[in-house]
Amino acid sequence: MKTFLLIWYLSVSVVFSQNLNFIKEFGKFKSAVSFTLDLNSNFYVADQLENSIYKLDSLGNDLLDIGGYGWEAATFDNPINVFTNTLSVYVADKNNNRVQRFDKDLNFLSEYHGSAENSNYEFAYPTCVVISNIGDLFILDSDNNRILKFNLTGEFLYEIGGNDAGNLAINNPKNFTTDNKGNLFVLDDNIIKVFDEYGNGQFEFKPIIETEKIKFFRDNLWLINKSSVVEFSMSERKIIYKFENFPNLKDEEIVDIEVNNNNLFILTSHRILKYKITD
């Protein structure tokens, strides 16, 4: 642990800024909290205040929306996180204690409910959901400070970060992400805790900026807060780029990001801003 932290602090002494060219803005939301981008460059946006999920195309045109307050299928009570893979869209429906699954046209398919009869995976107030590259589903059970893992068929596998994780037990998780190898990165308060593909704790480290959310793009870990974004290489243990002073962001706060090739998309509570990353 000491060796890793030493490498971290030594390697952040040089920070490279990257230029951002503002391209456009689109979308109109009341209180957006999360978004995700599919392989066809369609956006799915979770609006907390409207209890709705919106689908927009790559040009920002509104395509579909579902929701409204409720507990039936395709209604929500605080849809706090949305994630898509090649086939489905998953929504962490926090106050309904469930994760809902939809197809790409936002037709309801199924749900994972926290009051499942199997006590091994009862959960409450899910706040983050991620699908790994091999199709495993991870749910952040914020009420019990742990992450639950399910396989492709929806079978519960095991929990990660529970009391048996020792020093790497999760205490106050904000959110999490996975890399291309299936490793799990959990933002636990102001510490990032790393687990391997089998849920075994590996190490932890403290980010060099105040961090509200983490994601993986371009094989690197991205650290996100209300005013800046950092691209960090885990393999080289160093910052690749730091993004701040976003053109046209004005006085809005960053809620979430997506990266597609050299395009950086910033989500605020009310809109999406598109930037081109240039050298």
Write out pLDDT tens, residues 116-134: 666 567 899 999 999 998 8
Q: pTM for the complete prediction?
A: 0.92
pLDDT (average), residues 17-25: 85
pLDDT tens across 57-76, in order?
999 999 999 999 999 999 99
Checking if the pLDDT of 17 tops 80, the result is no
Checking if the pLDDT of 155 tops 60, the result is yes
Please report where in the chains the tokens 């709705």 appear, as a residue. Answer: 52
Q: Which of 213, 137, 227 shows the shortest CA–CA distance to 175?
A: 213
Higher pLDDT pick, 221 / 10: 221
Could you give the CA distance from residue 102 to residue 84 in angstroms, rounded to a whole number? 9
pLDDT tens across 248-265, in order?
999 999 999 999 989 999
Could you give the CA distance from residue 110 to residue 130 in angstroms, rounded to a whole number? 16
What integer best gives the mean pLDDT of the chain? Answer: 91
How much is the pLDDT for 12? Answer: 44
Q: How confident is the model at residue 2 (pLDDT cuts 50, 70, 90)?
A: very low
Other Cβ atoms less than 10 A from the Cβ of 131: the count is: 19
Could you give the CA distance from residue 113 to residue 119 in angstroms, rounded to a whole number? 12
Checking if the pLDDT of 18 tops 70, the result is no
Burial class of residue 133 (count of CB atoms within 10 Å of its CB; 0-12, 13-18, 19+) = exposed
**Domain boundaries along the sequence of the chain:** 2-278
Could you give the CA distance from residue 155 to residue 172 in angstroms, rounded to a whole number? 26
Q: What torsion, rounded to 10 degrees, do the Cα atoms 84, 85, 86, 88 define?
A: -50
How much is the pLDDT for 266? Answer: 98
164 three-state secondary structure: helix
CA 162 from centre of chain = 20
What percent of the chain has pLDDT above 70? 91
How much is the pLDDT for 118? Answer: 60
Task: List all residues 6 or more positions away from 111 whose beta carbon is below 8 Å from its beta carbon.
Answer: 73, 98, 99, 100, 101
Q: How confident is the model at residue 19 (pLDDT cuts 50, 70, 90)?
A: confident
Which 8-state DSSP code applies to residue 49? T
pLDDT (average), residues 180-187: 94
Checking if the pLDDT of 184 tops 80, the result is yes
How much is the pLDDT for 278? Answer: 87
Structurally, what CATH architecture does the domain formed by 2-278 represent?
6 Propeller (2.120)
How much is the pLDDT for 14? Answer: 42
Cα–Cα–Cα angle for 184, 188, 189, rounded to 5 degrees: 155
User: What would the DSSP string read from start to end of 201-264?
Assistant: EEEEE--SS--SEEEEETTEEEEE-SS-EEEEETTTTEEEEEE-S-TT-TTPPP-EEEEETTEE
